[in-house]
Amino acid sequence: MADKTKVRPDPFGWVGHVLAGKYRVDSVVGEGGFGVVYRAWHLGFEQPVALKCLKLKPSLDESAKDDFLKRFISEGKLLHQLSRATADVVQCLDVGFAVSPARVDTPYLVLEWLDGTTLDRELKNSRGHTRVVEDAMAVLESAARGLAAAHDQGVSHRDVKPANLMLTEVGGRVTLKVVDFGIAKAPDDATTSSKPFDGFGSAMQAFTPRYGAPEQFSRKYGPTGPWTDVYAFCLVLVELVTGVSALEGEDPVQLYIETSDVEHRPTLRARGATVTDAVEGVIVRALAVDPRSRYRTMGEFWDALHAASGTQTTRIKSVRPPSLSMPNKHQSTPPPAFRRSESDPIAPTPTADIERTAMGTGTITVLLREQRKRKVVWLVALVATGVVVVGALLKMRSSEDAFATPDAQPLADVSQLQPDLAVATVVIDAQVPTMLAVSPTTFTMGADDGSKGEKPAHQVTLTRAYKIDRTEVTTDAYGACVHASACTPNVLRKDGPNGEITTTSVTCNSIDDSNFARQPVNCISYDQASAYCKWAGKRLPTEAEWELAARGSDARVYPWGNTLPTSCRQAVVGGLDGPCGSRKGTYEVGTTVDGVSPTGAFDMAGNVWEWVADAFDAYPRERVVDPFLPPRVSTKGVLRGGSWDYSSLAAKAYTRLPIARSWAQPSIGFRCAQ
Q: Residue 493: its pLDDT value, please?
A: 77
Residue 658 has pLDDT above 80, yes or no: yes
Q: What are the pLDDT digits (tens) for 24-75?
A: 999 998 887 678 899 999 998 899 999 999 888 777 788 888 888 888 888 7
Q: Residue 305: its pLDDT value, please?
A: 95
Q: Residue 238: its pLDDT value, please?
A: 96
- Within 10 angstroms of residue 632's Cβ, the number of other Cβ atoms is 7
Residues of the chain with CATH 1.10.510.10: 116-309
Please state, in angstroms and rounded to a whole number, the distance separating the CA atoms of residues 183 and 80.
Answer: 12
Residue 209 has pLDDT above 80, yes or no: yes
Rg (CA), the chain: 29
Residue 627 has pLDDT above 60, yes or no: yes
647 — pLDDT class (breaks 50, 70, 90): confident
At 466, the amino acid letter reads Y
The answer to whether the Cα torsion of 307, 308, 314, 318 is positive or negative is: negative
Helix (H) or strand (E) holding 144: helix 133-152
Residue 1 burial class via C-beta count within 10 angstroms: exposed 0-12, middle 13-18, buried 19 and up: exposed
CATH class, 116-309 region: mainly alpha
Least trusted range by pLDDT, from 191-200, 406-415, 592-601:
406-415
Q: Residue 371: its pLDDT value, please?
A: 54
Helices H, strands E: what count in the chain? 13, 18
Residue 355 has pLDDT above 60, yes or no: no
Residue 414 has pLDDT above 70, yes or no: no
Query: Across the chain, what does the average pLDDT equal?
Result: 76
Q: Residue 633: its pLDDT value, please?
A: 75
475 — pLDDT class (breaks 50, 70, 90): very high
Q: Residue 182: its pLDDT value, please?
A: 61
Residue 661 has pLDDT above 60, yes or no: yes
Q: Residue 6: its pLDDT value, please?
A: 57
**CA distances (Å), origin 49, targets 27, 284, 426:** 11, 40, 45
Mark residue 546 as left, alpha or beta (left: phi above 0; alpha: psi -120 to 50; beta: remaining).
Answer: alpha
Residue 604 has pLDDT above 60, yes or no: yes
Architecture of domain 475-669: Alpha-Beta Complex (3.90)
Residues of the chain with CATH 3.30.200.20: 18-112
83 — pLDDT class (breaks 50, 70, 90): confident
144 — pLDDT class (breaks 50, 70, 90): very high
Residues of the chain with CATH 3.90.1580.10: 475-669
Q: What are the pLDDT digits (tens) for 276-285?
A: 999 999 999 9
18-112 is a CATH 3.30.200.20 domain = yes
- Within 10 angstroms of residue 543's Cβ, the number of other Cβ atoms is 24
Q: What are the pLDDT digits (tens) for 269-328?
A: 999 999 999 999 999 999 999 999 999 999 999 999 999 998 765 443 333 322 222 233
- The torsion defined by the Cα of 447, 450, 453 and 459, in degrees rounded to 10, comes to 0
Least trusted range by pLDDT, from 117-121, 251-255, 362-366:
362-366
Query: 230-267 burial, b if ≥16 CB within 10 A, otherwise e?
Result: bbbbbbbbbbbbbbebbbeeeebbebbbbbbeeeebbb
Q: Which of 207, 183, 185, 204 is nearest to 193 (CA)?
A: 204
Q: What are the pLDDT digits (tens) for 359-381?
A: 334 555 555 555 544 444 333 33
Residue 354 has pLDDT above 80, yes or no: no
